[in-house]
Amino acid sequence: MDAYYQTRTALLARCFLGLAGVVLLRLTWMQVLHPERYENPTRIRYHREHKLAAQKGELLDREGRCLARCELVASIAANPQQVVDAAAAAKLLAPLLRVPQSDLTAALGRRWRQVLLRRDVTAAVVQQLQPLVDRKVLRLERSTVASSFSLYVFGQQFLPSPADRQALAVVLGCQPDELDRLSGLPATAVRLRSDLDAESAKRVQQLGLTGLLVQQNPGRAVVSVWLQPSAAQIIQTPNREGVMTPWATLDPAVWADLTPLWQGAEVPDKGGVEARLRAPFVYLQREVAIELGDAVTALIQQHPQELAGVSVHREYARRYPQGEVARGLLGRCDVDEHGLSGLEQIFNQILSGVDGYRKVTVSALGRPILQEREELVPAVHGKLVELTLDSVIQHYGEQAVEAAVKEFDADWGLAVVCNPRNGEVLALVDVASAKYDVPRNIRCLATAYEPGSIMKPLVVASALEAGYCEAHSGYYCGGRRKVGSASLNCIKQHGPESVADAVRDSCNMVLIELGLGLGEDRLRHWFKKLGLLSRTGLGQAGQEACGGVFEHTEDGHWTPQKVATVSYGKGIQTTAVALCRAYSALLNGGRMPELHLVRRLRERDGTVVVEHPADQGTPVFSAATARAVSEMMHQVVADREGTGQLARSSLYDIGGKTGTSVEYRTHGQRIVSFVGYAPAKDPQLLVLMSVCEPREGARMGASTCGPAVRQILEQSLQYLNVPPLPQAPSSAPGEATP
């Protein structure tokens, strides 16, 4: 008997061992030899992707001071679907967040939301959906779309000049020759455009052209259709953790009744509409101090049941350590750190970097499948942009321009400070009075205006370089001269004047002689060569204006009057940065460096990616011409007869040029300017300042801008440790921290 049981036990053991061997062989076949067949036989993969946010780079000034950076902040959010008791959670959070408890209760209890199904439905569709509206399944929202504008042309009155036609074409976004067919039409009125937005309509009206009528279109009523949460049936389904979670489903009959709504549009996914009914995420507070986020995290750990669904997220927010210094220039970002204006917009792509992600495969219940390979794409962080700007010099410029705008009751003022030797821009100042609209773009780049008499040294240099005259060439100023059908005036009757005297005294008559002598072709050539009619490249195309000459003849050529007036800065427009670039050629031995705002791009570890190359500048004038004209500008300030005496300094030898103009198409709006540089023998800083519509004081470039330019030069040169004049008492240079 014992032998029988032993044999039987041995047989069973052999069977089990054999079965285990078969299972082992099968597992080896599945897991080792052919795993691809059995890992996921349905070929359906569920992925969970985690975003790896790229950190936005910093904006630094030339000395490494941080102008803009991203700081770690916290945002408090909640999933209302997981909140057990909204009132209890709000009671715990209200003291910390300093938000009314009632507001938090409402936010935490917002589990379901209305879903916008379609906008702008027709009256016929509304009528078909009315039964669903009566049953509270749908809600109709009636609103009025902002009205557009129509542009009418009266052909017999619409006779624009070439300049007017070109300006209108720019506003309408068409070619100038497309407007030629409108002139002389027999019809009383022709509607040229019916969809102008408010901004374009305003710009057309500002042109003041005869034969154009801008008419506001009536506002259009639209109806939007919203699905009500009460229309859905709420059911309980297990989530990834097995916890029962409410879910909304739509009755198939209700979904069928919505069929008229999709006429002419793509039918949405029913499951997608049901998912949108849920409100799984709501911000309670965003971009708060990280300490507050830590406090909320601790509170959640203390009360896990009451604060279920509440979470703390860490993110980055843009901060500006220098306070208000250069704030208008730096611009602003939206809540997602995308640059919207200023330098933040110009360098947004470089600063932003590229987000990465980590993707894992999960089961239907959301659990990671370890056998699947994890896909990891690291984030590429944004570069650090080291600018040529100096925050201290920027601060000096803002102080001086703001004081001038207030003192002389002006609309706005701007200033550009640069190094004429290498084209580095050290400050871009833009100040507007409280009653004047602040533009989105940087005015130093985006505003083209008549330069007035600050154009004269450039025309004189062009005439000298062309061999048309010499610095001592004699002319006569009678105070008035008739050119063509127009009588052109000078600021006074100067009598006998040399070319050098004309710059010192700002004489229009001598410049008219030089302009007429050079002629249209050579003036055009020099304006283009000096870059006055082109962009500098400091900003994007949409942020930087382009200069131009207002032509009034049908064939596009200048009249003798136009040739005469552009020689002293009237009838031509350019930007402040383009003028600084051209003036740099006069102060850099005749070579014109390209202006630039970026010194180098660096990685976060300090590695230099790109560095601006040393630029000696493009030869424009001979060294002799540049030296002669810079000496003329020195006399503008140094000579007792010069127009720029108010810019004279006891610390540094300053040269410069005054300018006053009436801005084109503004019915007499005055812009006054002063260009100054120092030291006169070895220019290291160039400052251009312009003020628009000063209502107090003498309203001239010398009196309005001269003292402010002197102040910027004195403070900046001392800060840069440039020795003052020997006879002046030396003051200890130091850095003023904005």
Contacts of residue 553, Cβ cutoff 8 Å, sequence gap at least 6: 162, 559
Query: Which residues of the chain are in CATH 3.40.710.10 domains?
Result: 391-719
Mean pLDDT of 136-164: 75
Tell me: pLDDT of 278 over 80: no
Tens of pLDDT, residue by residue over 475-501, are 999 989 998 888 899 988 999 999 999
- Between CA 439 and CA 435 the distance in angstroms is 13
CA 255 to chain centre: 45
**What average pLDDT score do residues 300-325 get?**
87
Q: What is the pLDDT of residues 289-310, one digit of tens each?
A: 899 989 989 998 998 888 888 8
- Which amino acid is residue 350, in one-letter code? I
pLDDT for residue 683 is more than 90: yes
CA distances from 157 to 145, 551, 581 (A): 33, 20, 42
Tell me which range, 125-139, 287-301, 435-449, is most confidently predicted by mean pLDDT. Answer: 287-301
- Other Cβ atoms less than 10 A from the Cβ of 409: the count is 13
Q: Is the pLDDT assigned to residue 45 strictly greater than 60?
A: no
Helices 623-638 & 456-465, crossing angle to 10 degrees? 150
Q: Is the confidence at residue 581, as pLDDT, over 90?
A: yes
- Lowest average pLDDT, out of 569-578, 694-703, 726-735, goes to 726-735
Percent of the chain with pLDDT over 90: 32
Which of 272-281, 351-360, 632-641: highest mean pLDDT? 632-641
Residues forming CATH 3.90.1310.10 domain(s) in the chain: 47-65+322-387, 73-111+279-315, 147-218
Lowest mean pLDDT among 149-158, 337-346, 705-714, 715-724: 149-158
- Does domain 73-111+279-315 fall into CATH 3.10.450.50? no
Indicate the CATH number for domain 47-65+322-387: 3.90.1310.10
d(CA 263, CA 230): 25
How far is residue 527 from each of residues 162, 318, 613, measured CA to CA in Å? 20, 41, 26
* Mean pLDDT across 14-30: 81
Q: State yes or no: pLDDT of 598 exceeds 70.
A: yes
**For the chain, counts of helices (H) and of strands (E):** 21, 31
Residues 6+ apart with CB under 8 A from 601: 350, 383, 384, 385, 386, 608, 609, 610, 611
pLDDT, position 209: 75
**Mean pLDDT taken over the chain:** 82
Cβ(432)–Cβ(441) below 8 Å: no
Asked if residue 670 has pLDDT above 70, the reply is: yes
Question: Do 151 and 171 touch, CB atoms closer than 8 A?
Answer: no
Average pLDDT estimate for 70-98: 87
Q: Which residues touch 257 (CB under 8 Å, ≥6 apart)?
A: 129, 131, 132, 137
Share of the chain above pLDDT 70, in %: 85
- Which pair of structure tokens corresponds to residue 629? 């004209």
Multiple choice CATH, 147-218, 3.90.1310.10, 3.40.1160.10, 1.10.760.10, 3.30.70.100: 3.90.1310.10
Predicted local confidence at residue 735, as pLDDT? 41
Residue 542: CB atoms within 10 A of its CB come to 9
Higher pLDDT, 729 or 414: 414
At 195 the pLDDT is: 75
Summarize pLDDT for 237-253 with one digit per residue, the tens: 665 555 566 677 778 88
Q: What is the pTM of this model?
A: 0.72
pLDDT of 245 = 63
Question: CB neighbours (10 Å) of residue 706?
Answer: 28
Question: What pLDDT digit, counting tens, does each position of 174-213 carry?
Answer: 666 667 666 555 555 677 777 777 767 777 776 777 777 7
CATH tag, 391-719: 3.40.710.10
Mean pLDDT of 123-133: 84
